[in-house]
Amino acid sequence: MDKFPIDILIGLVGLPAKSVKNTLSLLREGATIPFISRYRKEMTGSLDELQVGLIKDEVQKLDDLIKRKESILKTIQEQGALTDALKKKIDSCWDSTRLEDIYLPFKKKVKTKARIARDNGLEPFARLITSEGNEDLRKRAQRYINKNVPDVDAALEGARHIISEWINENVACRELIRGQYEKYGLVESKVVKKKKDDAVKYEMYFEYSERLNRIPSHRLLAIFRGEKEGLLKAKISIEEEYAQRGIERTMIRNPRGKSAEHIRLAIEDSLKRLLLPSIENEFKKAAKQKADEEAILVFSKNLKDLLLAAPLGNKRILAIDPGFRTGCKVVALDEKGDLLEDTTIYPHPPQSKRDEAMYTVQHLVEKHAIEAISVGNGTAGKETFQMLNGYNFGKEVEVFFVNESGASIYSASKVAREEFPDKDVTVRGSISIGRRLMDPLAELVKIDPKSIGVGQYQHDVNQTKLKENLDTTIASCVNAVGINLNTASQHLLAHVSGLGPVLGKNIVAYRKEHGPFAERKELKKVARMGAKAFEQSAGFLRIRDGKNPLDNTGVHPESYHVVKQMAKDLKCDLKSLIADKELIRSLKLKKYVNETIGLPTLMDIQKELDKPGLDPRGKAKAVAFSNRINKISDLSDGMVLPGVINNVTKFGAFVDIGIKESGLVHISEIVNRFISDPAEVVSVNQEVKVKVIGIDEAKGRVSLSMKQV
């Protein structure tokens, strides 16, 4: 049973109570997000993956808050300060910031000025001042003079230090300052004067300010990065005089009383020394967290678009990792992506053996019955692509320009060494380029997503959160596509709902020993494949040409009996039902509704029967880049060029136009209307037409426009 009231969770996620309760129950039972959103629609009210993920995230935060409460209660109890009222206050608190405010007076403190003043016996005097009586405070201060408090001024100062700490620990005062930061907080940055020459890339932030509640995440992360590198000084500020007056209204009952001036001095001291630094750090941390979340969402969206890029499928491919001086590494791959042969050609300067290179390529195409050529888009990529594109091989051989970001990371990885222990990094990199064309998803899951080049400040954000989010994105893509159980690598299987690395490895080992899986239920024979893992994974795994035709659909084995009944009612076998669109559309779904299966699941079953084994990604097609453009110096203002978006950020989209440098379409140049986020209009892998509107050859920057085309 959960220790937090379910109403708290419902309020946080803003979703129907029944959906939240049932989703929470499924999560606690170990169900995965893809499984819940795909196969438990009746229970969740058809919540999608984002909604289920939101519930999971908030549950984790509440669980963490409960652990923090337990730790706080234990600490206060050990101090002998835990009262029934305080315990009730902590138990009923479900806001982490408010909880820390409650705990603040009980936190173990280093030897602060207030602690020293208490040790010197000045706390009663501080209480006397805050009682705001009519006492002559200088006269009363004489009672507190001792060897550590030499005079009246020292006694008054020490008492004020204690009052300063009380003000800092006062919940109302902290909330008041928080309100100021929320409404009026200003992000300010200045260049570190001694580092000005090194900080050129942060030039726009040398003397910069913007409201905290308006600053975009990419600007905030840029400022924080500059600060981390020691090139900028950054702060979040508020109007101190305004804050001072606000706290005076809270803390001083009699503005003309004898204590008022001392309390004012204590407020001023508390603000400068305690409150403002504390709340500023709190808001800096919160602002960074929010900016991180936005940047991670951008990264996840881009990664999803890249992973779900259309595959060419099981074709025989010649893959080329281009280069000038060191030549172009060429590999021939069979339909499964296994290496047949590798060699090197030197068609470009300084060797310029173009005829010899084309003879080798022609020979490999004929020898291995090559159906397509995959050319990496790095150095010498465009020249290699142009050399091959349009060449008459004596048969149709389509040439593709493939994004090779991260291929070098893969080629030096443990995964690549295990796959090709006797090949060097250049050959492994070429293999990766070829396999990306066959199936981008299957190949890219082997690479750390941060190396794929579709992020925004990915090295500056919280790395744990980034990894969690990207892992979720990869799992979502893998499970959305459906994985071929008999050809998938252990790395791909590891991302299937309910499996993980160990079961992924065990499935591959089972395949090697026993041959291909004939049906889904054979999975239960795999080592460590329990009932839960089978339930969570089976629906996302496909078997082509197996014993049961339903094994090549997204119909879960738990629903096979329903489909069998459908076939029986229509007086046909399963194979005939799946092949006949008329029969499938004639099904009266309401007839099959029962306590466990409702219309949402039955409608999904109908869709799966209509299109068994369908890959939702479509099929890859070659992009036609301009043959006139090979390098940045070939560009001129006003040119209109074809391109492919290879990265989307909050400030614009980067476009591959067939040269080494990607051009930037600023958010203001995407469409002829206001948009707050480029992702509203564009996505990674989208083909676009762009106009060149600016060239900075020295810095390697190209400015593009979509709206001017």
Distance of alpha carbon 177 from alpha carbon 248, whole angstroms: 12
What DSSP designation does 662 have?
P
pLDDT (tens digit, 9 = 90+) per residue, 480-534? Answer: 999 999 999 999 999 999 999 999 999 999 999 999 999 999 999 999 999 999 9
Phi-psi category of 238—alpha, beta or left, where left has phi over 0 and alpha has psi -120 to 50? beta
6-92: CATH number: 1.10.10.650
Residue 330, φ and ψ in degrees, nearest 5: -120, 135
Q: How far apart, in whole angstroms, are the C-alpha atoms of residue 360 and residue 339?
A: 17
- The H or E element that residue 331 is part of is strand 328-333
Q: Binning pLDDT at 50, 70 and 90, where does residue 356 land?
A: very high
Output the pLDDT for position 453.
Answer: 75
Q: Which two tokens stand for residue 411?
A: 């080629």
Contact present, 654 and 706 (Cβ < 8 Å):
no
Q: How far apart are CA 271 and CA 173, in angstroms?
A: 10
Type of residue found at 172: A
pLDDT for 101:
96
Q: Phi-psi region for residue 642, left (φ > 0), alpha (ψ -120 to 50) or beta?
A: beta
pLDDT of 218 higher than 60: yes
Helix (H), strand (E) counts: the chain: 30, 15
Q: For 679-702, what is each residue's pLDDT tens digit?
A: 999 999 999 999 999 999 998 999
Q: In CATH terms, is domain 317-438 a member of 3.40.50.10190?
A: no
* Cα 286 → chain centroid: 17
Quote the percentage of the chain above a pLDDT of 90.
90
Cis, peptide link before residue 350, omega less than 30° from 0: yes
What is the pLDDT averaged over residues 549-560? 96
In degrees and rounded to multiples of 5, residue 380 shows phi and psi of: 70, 10
Indicate left, alpha or beta for 528 from its phi (over 0: left) and psi (-120 to 50: alpha): left
- Is the separation of the CB atoms in 303 and 297 below 8 Å? no
Q: Are 672 and 707 in contact (CB under 8 A)?
A: yes
3-state helix, strand, coil in the chain (%, to 5): 55, 10, 35
Q: Is the dihedral of CA 221, 227, 231, 232 positive or negative?
A: positive
Distances in Å between the Cα of 137 and the Cα atoms of 424, 525, 535 are: 83, 85, 76
Nearby residues of 695 by Cβ (< 8 Å), 6 or more positions away? 632, 635, 636, 637, 701, 702, 703
Q: Are 675 and 611 in contact (CB under 8 A)?
A: no
398-402 and 483-484 strand pairing = unpaired
Residue 349 pLDDT more than 70? yes
Position 236 scores a pLDDT of 98
Question: How far apart, in whole angstroms, are the C-alpha atoms of residue 513 and residue 354?
Answer: 46
- Ramachandran sector of residue 267 (left: φ over 0; alpha: ψ -120 to 50; beta: rest): alpha
Per DSSP, what are the bridge partners of residue 344? Answer: 329
Cα–Cα separations (whole angstroms), residue 266 to 126, 178, 606: 10, 19, 72
Beta pairing partners, 644: 656, 687
pTM metric for this prediction: 0.89
Phi, psi angles (nearest 5°) of residue 653 = -125, 135
10-35: b or e for each residue (b if 16 or more CB lie within 10 Å)? bebbebeeebbebbbebbeeebbbbb
Residues 453-463, mean pLDDT to the nearest whole number = 83
Q: What integer pLDDT is reported at residue 1 of this predicted model?
A: 52
What is the distance between the alpha carbons of residues 383 and 188, in angstroms, rounded to a whole number?
A: 47
Backbone angles phi, psi at 290, to 5 degrees: -65, -45
Residue type, 422: D
Q: How far is CA 519 from CA 325, 533, 551, 553, in A?
A: 51, 16, 7, 12
Q: Mean pLDDT across the stretch 448-462?
A: 83
Q: How far apart are CA 138 and CA 63, in angstroms?
A: 52
Instruction: Indicate if the pLDDT at residue 108 is higher than 60.
Output: yes
Determine the average pLDDT of the residues in 620-645.
90
Give the Cα separation of 364 and 493 in Å (integer). Answer: 32
Residue found by looking up tokens 């172009």 in the block:
328
Encode pLDDT of 58-93 as tens digits.
999 999 999 999 999 999 999 999 999 999 999 999
- Higher pLDDT among residues 497 and 619, named by residue: 497
pLDDT band for position 455 (50/70/90)?
confident
Q: Which of the four pLDDT bands, split at 50, 70 and 90, describes residue 624?
A: confident
Question: Which of 493, 483, 439 is closest to 309 using CA atoms?
Answer: 439
Per residue, the 3-state secondary structure of 695-706, as one string, reads EECCCCEEEEEC
- Non-local (6+) Cβ contacts of 625 within 8 A are 382, 385, 401, 641, 642, 643, 657, 658
Average pLDDT over residues 281-294: 96
Three-class SS state of 375 = strand
Going across the sheet that includes 372-376, the strands are 339-345, 328-333, 317-321, 372-376, 398-402
Is the predicted pLDDT of residue 451 greater than 90, yes or no? no
The CA distance from 555 to 284, in Å, is 48
- Enter the CATH code of domain 632-705: 2.40.50.140
Q: What is the pLDDT of residue 627?
A: 82
Kindly state the tokens that stand for 347.
Answer: 């068609």
Q: Of the candidates 172, 164, 152, 153, which has an alpha carbon nearest to the alpha carbon of residue 126?
A: 164
Around Cβ 232, how many Cβ atoms within 10 Å?
22
Q: Is 282 exposed, middle or buried (0-12, 13-18, 19+ CB in 10 A)?
A: middle
Can you tell me the distance from the alpha carbon of 348 to that of 568, in angstroms, rounded to the nearest whole number? 66
Q: Over the Cα atoms of the chain, what is R_g? A: 33
Longest pairwise C-alpha distance within the chain: 108
* Bridge partners, residue 701, by sequence: 696
Closest CA to 567 of 582, 578, 551, 556: 578
In words, the CATH class of domain 113-299 is: mainly alpha
pLDDT at 440: 94
Distance CA 467, CA 668 (A): 31
Q: Which residues does residue 704 pair with via DSSP β-bridges, in sequence order?
A: 665, 692
Does an H or E element contain 160, and which?
helix 152-169
Q: Where are the domains of the chain?
A: 6-92, 113-299, 317-438, 632-705
Q: How far apart are the C-alpha atoms of 243 and 276, rounded to whole Å? A: 9
CA triplet 67, 69, 70: central angle to 5 degrees? 65
Whether pLDDT at 452 is above 90: no
**Range of weakest confidence among 18-22, 25-29, 151-155, 375-379:** 375-379
Q: Which positions ≥6 away from 100 have C-beta within 8 Å?
A: none
The tokens describing 36, both together, are: 């819940």
